[in-house]
Amino acid sequence: MTSFQALVVSEQTDGRFVSQVQTREVADLPAGEVLIRVQYSSLNYKDALSASGNRGVTKLYPHTPGIDAAGIVEQSSVSEFAAGDEVIVTGYDLGMNTSGGFAQYIRVPAAWLLKRPQGLSLREAMLLGTAGLTAALCVAKLEQAGLTPDAGPVLVTGATGGVGSIAVALLASLGYQVAAATGKAEQAEFLKRLGATQIVNRSSLLDGTDKAMLKPQWAGAVDTVGGDILFNVVKALHYGGSLACCGLTAGVAFNASVLPFILRGVNLLGVDSVELPLVVKASMWDKLSLQWKLSNLETLAHEVRLEQLPAAIEQMLAAKTSGRILVNLT
């Protein structure tokens, strides 16, 4: 029987949720066709919610979060994968109600897996992770809706977060003029290093929530926060502009009006990276490993070991993190 280390979140008798590194057995993992020895994972906001006991993310505890994992196939009962294959998995039920990537082993359905893109190492794949995939999907949707680098400035909200920071870097690498919105003034230089040409104070994006329309400012936008900021940015899009929406840290509701849509013909584009068909995920990963490969990935990341994760989770919940947090399980 193979033992391994995993971060386990347990509910206490007083209702608190505590994260601890524990020894687990491979035999206790859920059913699945492929057993993977995890090399790297990454910390996402959804993982922090799971670790805090959010029942909208994870229903049953004890539980191991981690919606991302990259590693080496140890055992496989399907022909598509063989022992020694390097693979990645992001989303689906991993880390939500299926034991996730904050562990040295996972067992998952083969339908969740992709072989490592040739242009990325396992480490690079997790420097991107779900955040990178989501950012790429946002940019792809904006371009499909007609956005081009010469259209004008593109706003990224929540720009110091995982999705936001990669969106800033990716848009800048593709030649866009990027405005990065954040409530962390001390991170301005970090965002400029990623390629932002303008820093926007997050509080200014709440001005005019009582108005049906705002002065056009943005050719496009990637919104990672939701709430009233989301619709204020929609109201400030250029004629025919588009916003890709993928987050909710500022709230799930906003007061909407049809006016920006029928007077300026703007587009609000929803982006999901969890239940996306595997073939679409594969196409995005191919882009991220080739024509959209970022040269500054390492500057986005802070690396932690498994035992350092509880502290990193607390920092993320307190909005004190920036960029990506890579989890090294080697």
Model pLDDT, residue 1: 66
Residues 70 and 135 in one domain: no
The pLDDT mean for the chain works out to: 95
Residues 134 and 22 in one domain: no
Residue ending a domain, among 270, 287, 316, is: 270
Residue 168, pLDDT above cutoff 70: yes
| CATH number of the domain encompassing residue 105 | 3.90.180.10
Residue pointed to by tokens 């022992």: 83
Residue ending a domain, among 270, 286, 319, is: 270
Residues 164 and 229 in one domain: yes
What percentage of residues in the chain have a pLDDT greater than 70? Answer: 100
Residues 257 and 322 in one domain: no
Report, in angstroms and rounded to the nearest whole number, the Rg of the chain calculated over CA atoms: 20
- Could you report the per-residue pLDDT of 224-270, keeping only the tens digit for each? 999 999 999 999 999 999 999 998 877 788 888 999 999 999 999 99
Q: What angle do CA 230, 233, 236 make, to 5 degrees?
A: 155
Of residues 1 and 48, more confidence is placed in 48
Residues 165 and 266 in one domain: yes
Residues 261 and 229 in one domain: yes
Establish if 275 belongs to a structural domain: no
Residues 188 and 307 in one domain: no
Q: Say how far apart CA 309 and CA 68 lie, in whole Å.
A: 14
Residues 32 and 143 in one domain: no
Query: CA of 208: how far to CAs of 1, 80, 205, 307, in Å?
Result: 61, 54, 8, 45
Residues 321 and 204 in one domain: no
Residues 137 and 195 in one domain: yes
Q: Is 242 helix (H, G, I), strand (E, B) or coil?
A: strand
Burial pattern 175-193, b for ≥16 Cβ within 10 A else e, equals ebbbbbbbebeebbebbbe
Tokens of 281: 């995920």
- Could you report the per-residue pLDDT of 68-102, keeping only the tens digit for each? 999 999 999 999 999 999 999 999 999 999 999 99
Bridge-based pairing of strands 301-305 and 324-328 is parallel
Full residue range of the structural domain in which residue 166 is found: 130-270
Establish if 288 belongs to a structural domain: no
What percentage of residues in the chain have a pLDDT greater than 90? Answer: 90
Model pLDDT, residue 136: 97
Residues 168 and 53 in one domain: no
- Could you report the per-residue pLDDT of 278-293, keeping only the tens digit for each? 999 999 999 999 999 9
Q: What's the pTM value of the predicted model, to 2 decimals?
A: 0.94
Establish if 287 belongs to a structural domain: no
Q: Say how far apart CA 125 and CA 241 lie, in whole Å.
A: 31
- Could you report the per-residue pLDDT of 183-229, keeping only the tens digit for each? 998 999 999 999 999 999 999 999 988 899 999 999 999 999 999 99
- The residues near 206 (Cβ < 8 Å, ≥ 6 apart) are 228, 229, 232
Establish if 125 belongs to a structural domain: no
| CATH number of the domain encompassing residue 147 | 3.40.50.720
Establish if 291 belongs to a structural domain: no
Model pLDDT, residue 253: 85
Count structural domains, the chain.
Answer: 2
Q: Say how far apart CA 39 and CA 271 lie, in whole Å.
A: 28
- The residues near 237 (Cβ < 8 Å, ≥ 6 apart) are 216, 217, 218, 219, 220, 221, 243, 260, 264, 266
Residue ending a domain, among 270, 304, 320, is: 270
Of residues 257 and 107, more confidence is placed in 107
Establish if 93 belongs to a structural domain: yes
Establish if 280 belongs to a structural domain: no
Establish if 150 belongs to a structural domain: yes
Residues 69 and 143 in one domain: no
